[in-house]
């Protein structure tokens, strides 16, 4: 039975704001077959290349972010918002809205503004440990605010906190039981003497800073019973591929990441909300190197939350040149008790049913007749 109306999801701008949407949409139609869903994004965001590869109906609008360091360019933001609201009104006339979900970022602002102006029920999903500007601005009238980090609740305006629900971030859950790591190591072709695996990755584009710090340490100091999977990013692979050995796999890109997660015992990564949620779900201890340019320094706050939970160690990018990453890894690689404790703490932060919980809460709150 098809619901008499369309549920709209606004997402995009960055990968963190983009990727929760499809998982939540899948859960919504699983729990309510026939529910019509439309995605709204921005022409200039990552969704321009991702949304056309999905099965979902979508519309890309001429939206711009808030230019914090170039305020004179915010005229484009205002003009784009006006054009976007007209486009949303046209879509609403064609497909009656029954509710809206915003997953943060500037791409969600126009649709959430339309929902607020027209009294439509809307929901927010905040991935990070600190609420972003869009989530804070619209939190006052949201039916519910789904947070990936419990720490985010205290960064919301006080009147909105009672409507916040800690769900974790929507990710593809790992298989249960988890794959046998020795078999996974063999599948990657590591020699028998390798008993533990280190994963290094700096996001889909890679990170030169992380790669340079890894190149300075890994070839000379990796303990003999450890192997490594080093995901350099496509743009960095050519200059680093010569570091590959029988114990070190140097690859440009890894998809699905589950094939790597099934193998590893420790990860070096940025502190993005989605990648840390995946690492927690797989029970993988983390050395987190926050992206310094992340909005409102949210990656450092994500990392700090996981450090307090004893699931991670923090290394600031500014300390990489002095060898901080290598010294941290040398300490952890020989401390089996610390790795076990951190793995248990990571699993304690995991919430693998986030999509289902969010979908159930939304469906319970909107009129599907």
Q: How far apart are CA 99 and CA 89, in angstroms?
A: 14
| pLDDT score at 59 | 83
Structure tokens at 327: 């010294």
Query: What DSSP line would sit under 263-322, residue for residue?
Result: T-SEEEE---HHHHHHHHHTT--EEE---TTSGGGHHHHHHHHHHHTTSEEE--GGGGGG
Cβ proximity of 178 and 246 under 8 Å: no
Same fold across 6-171+352-363 and 181-349: yes
Residues 114 and 88: their CA atoms lie apart, in Å, by 8
Q: Which CATH number does 6-171+352-363 carry?
A: 3.40.50.2000
pLDDT at 65 over 50: yes
Q: Check residue 46 and give its pLDDT.
A: 59
pTM tops 0.85: yes
Cα gap 179→199, rounded to integer Å: 17
CB-CB contact of 199 with 249 (8 Å): no
283 backbone φψ class: left, alpha, beta (φ>0; ψ -120 to 50): left
Residue ranges of the domains in the chain? Answer: 6-171+352-363, 181-349
Higher-pLDDT residue of 83, 260: 260
Structure confidence by residue, pLDDT tens digits, 160-204: 999 999 999 999 999 999 999 999 999 999 999 999 999 999 976
Say yes or no to pLDDT of 347 above 60.
yes
Please report the DSSP string for 127-167 in residue order.
Answer: -SSS--HHHHHHGGG-SEEEESSGGGGGGS-GGGGGGEEE-
Among positive and negative, which fits the CA dihedral 232, 233, 234, 235?
Answer: negative
pLDDT at 32 over 50: yes
pLDDT tens-digit map of 295-340: 889 999 999 999 999 999 999 999 999 999 999 999 999 999 999 9
> What fold, for 181-349?
Rossmann fold (3.40.50)
> According to the model, what pLDDT value does residue 17 have?
43
Phi-psi region of 12 (alpha: psi -120 to 50; beta: other; left: phi over 0): left
Which burial class, exposed, middle or buried, applies to 307 when counting CB atoms under 10 A from its CB (0-12, 13-18, 19+)? middle
Q: What is the pLDDT of residue 86?
A: 84
Task: Give helix then strand counts, H and E, for the chain.
Answer: 15, 13
């Amino acid at each position: 039975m098809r619901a008499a109306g369309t549920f709209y999801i606004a997402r995009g701008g960055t990968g963190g704001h983009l990727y929760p949407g499809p998982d939540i949409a899948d859960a919504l139609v699983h729990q309510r077959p026939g529910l019509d869903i439309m995605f709204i994004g921005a022409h200039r965001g990552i969704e321009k290349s991702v949304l056309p590869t999905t099965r979902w109906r979508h519309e890309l609008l001429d939206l711009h972010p808030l230019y914090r360091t170039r305020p004179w360019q915010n005229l484009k933001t205002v003009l784009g918002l006006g054009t976007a609201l007209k486009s949303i009104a046209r879509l609403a006339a064609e497909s009656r809205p029954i509710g809206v979900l915003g997953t943060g970022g500037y791409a969600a602002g126009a649709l959430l503004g339309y929902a607020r102006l027209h009294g439509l029920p809307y929901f927010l999903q905040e991935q990070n440990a600190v609420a972003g500007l869009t989530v804070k601005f619209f939190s006052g009238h949201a039916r519910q605010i789904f947070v990936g980090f419990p720490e985010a609740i205290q960064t919301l305006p006080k009147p909105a906190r009672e409507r916040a629900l800690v769900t974790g971030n929507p990710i593809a859950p790992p298989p249960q039981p988890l794959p046998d790591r020795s078999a996974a190591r063999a599948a990657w072709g590591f020699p028998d003497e390798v008993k533990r695996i280190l994963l290094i990755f700096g996001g889909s584009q890679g990170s030169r800073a992380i790669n340079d710090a890894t190149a300075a340490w890994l070839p000379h100091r990796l303990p003999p019973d450890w192997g490594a999977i080093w995901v350099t990013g496509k743009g960095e692979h050519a200059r680093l591929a010569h570091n590959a050995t029988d114990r070190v796999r140097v690859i440009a890109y890894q998809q699905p990441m589950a094939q790597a997660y099934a193998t590893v015992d420790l990860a070096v990564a940025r502190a993005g909300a989605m990648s840390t949620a995946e690492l927690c779900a797989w029970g993988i201890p983390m050395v987190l190197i926050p992206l310094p340019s992340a909005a409102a320094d949210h990656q450092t706050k994500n990392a700090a939350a996981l450090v307090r939970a004893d699931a991670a160690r923090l290394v600031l990018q500014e300390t990489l040149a002095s060898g901080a990453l290598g010294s941290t890894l040398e300490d952890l690689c020989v401390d089996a008790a610390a790795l076990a404790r951190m793995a248990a703490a990571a699993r304690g932060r995991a919430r693998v049913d986030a999509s289902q919980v969010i979908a159930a809460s939304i469906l319970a709150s909107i009129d599907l007749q």
